[in-house]
Amino acid sequence: MSTESRPLNGLLVVDKPGREDLIPIPMQEFITTRPARSNPLNLFTSHDIVARVRRWSGQQRIGHTGTLDPLASGLLLLCLGSATRLVEYYQHQPKRYRAVITLGGVTDTYDAAGRLLERFALPALARDDIERALAPLRGVVEQQAPRFSAIKQEGKTLYRLARRGETVEPPTRTVTFSTIDLLSFTPPDRVTLRVECSAGAYIRSLAHDLGVALNTGAYLQALRRETVGAFTLAEAHSLESIEAAGRAGQIDALLLPPGDRLPLPRHHLDQEALRRLGFGQIVVLPHTACEAERSLAAAVDDAGALVGIMRRLNAAEAQPGWCWKAEKWLQ
């Protein structure tokens, strides 16, 4: 339990543990030893990470900016306290992953944590075969989410419906894979990729689609998230270090300020403008201070601290400029 006596507000970059370091489970063991439950390897879900940080910090207001599957490891960005109001602005950032894919089988979850549904005899494949199969998967594509996913249909998450054996038709969404680099192919069945993609893209579905293109079946064996927007693993904290900081009452030393690297234009405003925005009033900023194509901006004080998010309304009538109003206020 944390000894923190003051509220914690800020961003915490976590290095979530996963199963990247585990020895791949042989195909036959998928059938004979894997129990049919949601987290058979007792790995951490993103919710598990949030729950632990709540306990260690004493701060109950915590949200994450993008789910990592139990199998996956890597960067999980948490917002604490007043920073939870910023989750929606952080969660739509592009992400980069290192993905290990196993050819020769299909699982119900599209990853190694699921149950094996079908095995395929593997042909003699070369690196060029993998490259050709990857080519149509790059760029802007229509991707179907896995049946076991956190997407909601009629208010219910798909993975809960799938676990109950109900028929699930996952939605198809437009996503962007800006980069899919083939790092290595180790015959007969191991493919390693580096992937840069938009928010909402499923690497599990990418692995499955690669198996369809090769006619070999495929599932995600391991996944590590390396970046979220401008945040990198180099600044991430392990669960052990976060727990130790919590016991020492020093989690605040691990936090980044609310709004750090927020992907919005920043406008430095004087105290009077900030006061008016905080009371729900409209302020006018000159055209030269605003990006015409952006309707949202970060309002910061003289010290550079984020005070809130403001929305552009329309052109001012009495003077040149745009009218702005507070959308989310932290102070």
Report field, pTM of the whole predicted structure over 0.85: yes
pLDDT at 30: 45
Q: Phi and psi for 87 in degrees, rounded to 5?
A: -55, -45
Catalytic residues: 69
* CA 46, chain centre distance (Å): 10
DSSP H helical segments within the chain, as ranges? 27-32, 46-57, 87-90, 127-134, 158-163, 203-214, 239-247, 271-278
pLDDT of residue 290: 62
- C-alpha 62/C-alpha 53 separation (Å) is 8
In this predicted structure, the answer to whether residue 292 has a pLDDT above a threshold of 80 is no
pLDDT level of residue 205 (50, 70, 90 thresholds):
very high
Long-range CB contacts (< 8 A, 24+ apart) of 232-235? 232/75, 233/15, 233/74, 233/75, 235/13
The mean per-residue pLDDT over the stretch 180-185 comes to: 98
Residue from 181, 187, 213 nearest 99 by CA = 181
More confident residue, 23 or 287: 287
Q: Are 193 and 180 in contact (CB under 8 A)?
A: yes
What is the pLDDT, as a whole number, of residue 207? Answer: 97
User: Rounded to whole angstroms, how far apart are CA atoms 113 and 30?
Assistant: 9
pLDDT at residue 192 in the model: 98
Of 33-42, 198-207, 214-223, give the lowest mean pLDDT range: 33-42
Tokens linked to 44: 């951490």
**What is the per-residue pLDDT across 83-115, written as a single tens digit (0 to 9) for each?**
999 999 999 999 999 999 999 999 888 998 888
Residue 277: the pLDDT is 97
What is the band of 167 on the pLDDT scale with cuts at 50, 70, 90?
low
Task: Tell me the two tokens of residue 8.
Answer: 């914690």
What distance in Å separates the CA atoms of residue 184 and residue 187, rounded to the nearest whole number?
Answer: 10
Residues 144/149/153/156 CA torsion (nearest 10 deg): 170
What is the separation of C-alpha 208 from the centre of its chain, rounded to a whole number of angstroms? 20
For the chain, domains (ranges, CATH) are 10-232 (3.30.2350.10), 266-329 (2.30.130)
Q: Is the pLDDT of residue 80 over 90?
A: yes
Instruction: Give the chain's mean pLDDT.
Output: 87
pLDDT tens across 19-74, in order?
764 434 444 554 455 444 444 566 889 999 999 999 999 999 999 998 899 899 99
Encoded tokens for 136: 């149509």
Side-chain half-sphere exposure of 59, counting CA atoms within 13 A: 27
Average pLDDT over residues 240-259: 97
Question: Among residues of the chain, what percentage have pLDDT more than 90?
Answer: 69
pLDDT at 145: 82
Q: What percent of the chain has pLDDT over 70?
A: 81
What the block records as the tokens of 241 is 């270090």
